[in-house]
Amino acid sequence: MIKLRVGLLLPCLILGACGGNLTLPPLGDSRSGQTSSSAEKNRQTQASAPNKRKQSGSDRAPFGSSYEAPPSLPTLISNVNVLTGTGEQLQGVSVLLQSGKIVSIDDAELPEGGVIVEGNGRWLTPGIIDVHSHLGVYPEPAIPSHNDGNEIVSPNTAKVWAEHSVWPQDPAFEKALAGGVTTLQILPGSANLFGGRGVTLKNVSSITMQGMKFPNAPHSLKMACGENPKRVYGDKGGPATRMGNMAGYREAWIAASAYRDKWAAYKKKGKSADAPDRDLMLETLAGVLDGEIKVHNHCYRADEMVNMIDLAREFNYKVTAFHHAVEAYKVAPILAENDVCAVVWADWWGFKQEAADMIRENAALVHAVGGCAIIHSDDGIQTQRLLQEVAKVMQAAQVMGYKIRGADAIKWVTSNAAKSLGLENEVGSIEAGKNADVVLWSGNPFSVYTRADMVWIDGVLQYDKQQPGLRATADFNLGILKPAEDRP
């Protein structure tokens, strides 16, 4: 139930300055509430600001975000049980959202003109983060003209950026939001040794990708080891084996190191020297070597994960996360020691040989040694129920004799996920000062019977189960009647 403190309500309605559900969204390039003028101002600001990431090569981040959170009323979510994402579980507290941030917990007092959402003992969690998604690059409906996620032309396509394939009107974004997903990392596919850059999006409705792009989020580089590259390129000049994969990585990093050195020498000489020719592929790899771009590595087998850690050590870069990682449990202490996250499924395996040796306790065993476990979807359906995937692992661990608290397991789709994206200071937990991305659930968050009741992103109510028209619904999600039923 929602109640209003009406002291400032009339001015809000007259001036349209308080946002929320009380005013129509302004016209603009984004239905997230951003006007064309504010979007353009944001683009100009980002374009004129110094690029702190610019180390070697030209500007490696030329495409900014036009996202701005629309104004919203202060919102007090009262009497809720909270899984903070930091390992804490709070009972019967109130959480205040204001100006796009989480302002206070427990001792919160609603400012005049704000909204009260009565929690009635329901559960509140941080917004769910899916760190391995292909929404927008493999959108619905799944037809060939929509397949924009895999640039299968060369083993090294580090030059491509997933954001340039994102279709913001993919109906799957809406369904993910209904499952509590507020942030997604959209990755290229895994056909290539180097698949290209990933992009982090806010799950807001927008006509443009720029209107969804998480401001100042680090870029990622999708790499892949194992069967996929050698299967795709084995009869096309290679690599044809796992040792061929490894040689391909090494050759690329050697070239990137030389490219980086050329640009460093040029900058040392000053403007009088001729600048080296730009190479988009090597710019991305040099960004990894400079620590600007995070490596998210598709890798199933334990032995290959260790090989990739050795490779990173040789060229002095860091692997942020291994994705799918069905054998992470075999090398969990090594992953923990090297601060590498294991991004895994709960129980999806056996669909190819390198995915054969999975166990349901995989994420739990990574967690048990102090590692960074993350549950991902890689799928437009599983992204709608990521907490149920977490619950599967909790149950498997309990059968094994290892009980994991919900307050800890929630990290696998919140704070750990945020860490892997370089956004741990902005999202992933319910703490004062963090972005107000939160989900109010109808029951126990890990229950198959529970649904998201309300979802806020930056303090703006983006989804309400009781208000179906709050956000535009794609025709694809409405379904159609059978012809026989479509007649009077």
298 — alpha (psi -120 to 50), left (phi > 0) or beta? beta
Neighbours of 50 (CB within 10 A): 6
Q: What is the pLDDT of residue 349?
A: 94
pLDDT band at 235 (very low <50, low <70, confident <90, very high): very high
Q: Residue 35 pLDDT more than 70?
A: no
Neighbours of 482 (CB within 10 A): 7
Q: Hey, where are the domains in the chain?
A: 2-473
Among 281, 276, 277, residue whose Cα is nearest residue 265 = 276
Q: What is the pLDDT of residue 1?
A: 56
387 φ, ψ (degrees, to nearest 5): -70, -30
* Domain 2-473 fold: TIM Barrel (3.20.20)
Q: What is the pLDDT of residue 21?
A: 33
CA distances from 364 to 86, 188, 397, 404, 417 (A): 17, 27, 6, 8, 15
Q: What is the pLDDT of residue 479?
A: 64
Q: What is the pLDDT of residue 12?
A: 38
Q: What is the pLDDT of residue 28?
A: 34
Residues 151-158, mean pLDDT to the nearest whole number = 98
pLDDT band at 169 (very low <50, low <70, confident <90, very high): very high
Question: Which sign, positive or negative, has the C-alpha torsion 33, 34, 36, 37?
Answer: positive
Lowest-confidence region among 264-273, 335-344, 427-436? 264-273
CA distances from 379 to 7, 117, 176, 375 (A): 46, 32, 10, 12
Residues 384-400, mean pLDDT to the nearest whole number = 98
Residues 159-169, mean pLDDT to the nearest whole number = 98
Contact 471, 154 (CB under 8 A): no
More confident residue, 470 or 322: 322
Residues with Cβ within 8 Å of 27's Cβ and at least 6 positions away in sequence, in order, are 35, 36
Residues 330-349, mean pLDDT to the nearest whole number = 98
pLDDT band at 60 (very low <50, low <70, confident <90, very high): low
The 10s digit of each residue's pLDDT in 402-454 is 999 999 999 999 999 999 999 999 999 999 999 999 999 999 999 999 999 99
Percent of the chain topping pLDDT 90: 81
Whole-model pTM? 0.88
pLDDT band at 392 (very low <50, low <70, confident <90, very high): very high
Lowest-confidence region among 220-234, 244-258, 293-307, 471-485? 471-485
